[in-house]
Structure 1
Amino acid sequence: MRRYGPAVLTLLVGAAVLRISLFSALYLRYVQSGLRPYLVASGALLVLLGAAAGVRAAREAPDEDDAPGEDEAPHGHGHEHEHEHTHTTTGPRLAWLLVVPATALLLFPPPALGSYSAAREDAQRAAQGVGAFPALPAGDPVNLSVAAFTSRAVYDSERSLKGRTVRLTGFVTHGDDGAWYVTRLLVSCCAADATTSKVQVRGADAPATDTWVTVTGVWQPKGGLGSTAAWPPLLDAKTVRKVHEPSDPYEKR
């Protein structure tokens, strides 16, 4: 059975990659949507390689370690053979442990990053430097990403958010002082480079951590432009509505 280890492991990894990229949108938890074709191609290649390795292993004759016979070992060499067998089988046996994470990835894909990751990135900012921003579209409420809202709130010299009603969607995080935030993670390529944008919500009860919500409200200025005191920006909530987590949970830069 040892001979099939590499084939089984390769098949499991390939199947897991195809499950999250070809048969579902779970890959969006980890990478940008533009990487889907590469994931599908990689998963298909791994499955083909695993199948080929399995067929090859089935056709090969078993080696001495797989099918030892009593008449095959010359008299007086049993101890030497046993000693060699002990050392050569440790590696393959340990290699089977790799099946555990591969199977877990296939059956239980990890969730998208959430409040724990956001808490580690509190110092991140959504923009660089103070300046003018493009005009907002007419009509209220204005649908904005959390990153776009934080950028305008902290750095927009024209104060384009003043007096406007905005609508933000994100997951809930909590602060040590009882404050709560609507939060989103931004990615450039994959979840490994994720950074955080968040907006403090006032005037509404806090939902549970990691609950996805859509908040409609009005920006409340605080602090000087580009200053630490302006972060995180404030939103006086008019409505807070629970929503399902989107298929693509990350905002894009």
Structure 2
Amino acid sequence: MNRQAQAVLLSLLGGAVLYAGSTDLYLRYVKAGLRPLMLGTGIVLIVAAIATIWYERRRRPTTQDSHTHREPRISWLLVLPLFALILIKPPALDSYSGMRTGTALPVPFGFPALPAGSPLPLSVLDYAGRAVYDHGRSLHDRQIQLTGFVAIDKDGTVYLIRMILNCCAADAQPVKIGLTGQVPPVLQPDTWLEITGTYTSKQTTDPLNNGAIPFIDVQQAKPVQAPSDPYEGLG
């Protein structure tokens, strides 16, 4: 693989990163706030490729250059990750990952006042943090709406889960909320649900890491399409 071939590969990689950053595809890899960095990275790669081609065309050939050894052909295998990025849309992490990792509930930096409205849409992370660390003080007498995917443990307990990201999908961890009340009798794991319900003081402990898992008292549950961004960020 000579310099020009490397430059072409670099430009294709930059184009793929730009494509991912300009569509919802990037949400399968990193959290939403990193879109500008994805776009910037794609632009830098393309500029570097153009600069490499320009330099190669301007450079005068020398005897030493004419005897320069090419890179081994196995280096073309570097094209495979590029094709994977272009052709394969990785699935979002699901209940299999969620139920094999302990619930992750970082201590929040305070609890801002909740806006008016009923039902009140909250992130799974926000509800769980208020239920565990604030003992539900801001959730009393409020009808709450949560969206997540279903997971069921070996005892039949149903959980609503969202995977949270600190940076990218590689560091994703689940936040789990147990469902009680009017839980639909037949549910399939990985079904996305929109839950409407109220705070309950019921909690359990995740056997994987002893993390606290709060519950919500379900009043209504309906299947929904998976959101374009299946993850929740830490900020």
Tell me which residue corresponds to 1:235. Answer: 216
CA contact (8 A) 2:103 2:175 kept: no
| Higher strand residue share | 2
Offset at 1:99? Answer: 0.5
- Number of matched residues? 223
SS of residue matched to 1:140: coil
Q: Is 1:8 the equivalent of 2:11? A: no
For the residues of structure 2 that align with 1:192 and 1:136, how far apart are their CA atoms?
31
Q: Is 1:96 the equivalent of 2:96? A: no
For the residues of structure 1 that align with 2:231 and 2:225, how far apart are their CA atoms?
14
Q: Is 1:220 the equivalent of 2:219? A: no
From 147, 154, 158, the equivalent of 1:169 is 147
Q: Is 1:252 the equivalent of 2:233? A: yes
For the residues of structure 2 that align with 1:92 and 1:55, how far apart are their CA atoms?
24
Tell me which residue corresponds to 1:191. Answer: 169
SS of residue matched to 2:40: helix
For the residues of structure 1 that align with 2:106 and 2:115, how far apart are their CA atoms?
20
Offset at 1:134? Answer: 4.8
Offset at 1:166? Answer: 1.2
Label 1:214 to 1:223 Cα distance change in 2 as closer, same or farther (>3 A): closer
Q: TM-score, normalised by structure 2?
A: 0.77
CA contact (8 A) 1:18 1:44 kept: yes
For the residues of structure 1 that align with 2:227 and 2:203, how far apart are their CA atoms?
33
CA contact (8 A) 2:135 2:201 kept: no
Q: Deviations over 1:131-150 (max 9, x none)?
A: x8455444532211111111
Label 1:116 to 1:15 Cα distance change in 2 as closer, same or farther (>3 A): farther
Coordinate RMSD, CA, aligned: 3.3
SS of residue matched to 2:72: helix
Q: Aligned letter for 1:189? A: C
Q: Aligned letter for 1:198? A: K
Q: Aligned letter for 1:14? A: G
Q: Deviations over 1:111-133 (max 9, x none)?
A: 3333344234324224369xx84
Specify every segment of 5 or more residues in structure 1 that has no aligned partner in the other structure, as ranges.
66-87
For the residues of structure 1 that align with 2:106 and 2:139, how far apart are their CA atoms?
16
Tell me which residue corresponds to 1:109. Answer: 89
SS of residue matched to 1:18: helix
Tell me which residue corresponds to 1:19. Answer: 19
Q: Which moved more, 1:140-149 or 1:200-209?
A: 200-209
Tell me which residue corresponds to 1:76. Answer: none
Q: Aligned letter for 1:246? A: P
Specify every segment of 5 or more residues in structure 2 that has no aligned partner in the other structure, as ranges.
none
Label 1:184 to 1:223 Cα distance change in 2 as closer, same or farther (>3 A): closer
CA contact (8 A) 1:212 1:242 kept: yes
For the residues of structure 2 that align with 1:158 and 1:238, how far apart are their CA atoms?
17
Q: Is 1:118 the equivalent of 2:94? A: no
SS of residue matched to 2:189: coil
Label 1:103 to 1:189 Cα distance change in 2 as closer, same or farther (>3 A): same
SS of residue matched to 2:202: coil
Label 1:161 to 1:35 Cα distance change in 2 as closer, same or farther (>3 A): closer
For the residues of structure 1 that align with 2:172 and 2:38, how far apart are their CA atoms?
19
CA contact (8 A) 2:103 2:173 kept: no
The structure with more radius of gyration: 1
SS of residue matched to 2:156: coil
Offset at 1:95? Answer: 0.9
Q: Deviations over 1:64-98 (max 9, x none)?
A: 68xxxxxxxxxxxxxxxxxxxxxx66x52111111
For the residues of structure 1 that align with 2:222 and 2:166, how far apart are their CA atoms?
28
